[in-house]
A and B are shown apart, each in its own frame.
Chain A
Amino acid sequence: NAGVTQTPKFQVLKTGQSMTLQCAQDMNHEYMSWYRQDPGMGLRLIHYSVGAGITDQGEVPNGYNVSRSTTEDFPLRLLSAAPSQTSVYFCASCTGPNTEAFFGQGTRLTVV
Chain B
Amino acid sequence: SQQGEEDPQALSIQEGENATMNCSYKTSINNLQWYRQNSGRGLVHLILIRSNEREKHSGRLRVTLDTSKKSSSLLITASRAADTASYFCATSRAGNNRKLIWGLGTSLAVNP
Contacts and interface: CB of A to CB of B under 8 A. Distances in A.
Contacts of A100: 33, 45, 48
Contacts of A53: none
Contacts of B2: 42
Interface residues of B, number: 25
Interface stretch (A11-19, A43-51, A68-76, A78-86): A43-51
Main secondary structure of the interface of B (DSSP, over half): strand
A109 B57 CA distance: 37
Given A48-B98, A56-B98, A100-B33, A43 B88 contact: yes
B42 A42 contact: no
Interface string B69-100: 00000000000000000001010100001111
19 contacts: A4-B42, A33-B99, A33-B100, A40-B104, A45-B100, A48-B98, A48-B99, A50-B98, A90-B43, A92-B43, A97-B92, A97-B97, A98-B50, A98-B97, A101-B33, A101-B45, A102-B45, A104-B42, A105-B42
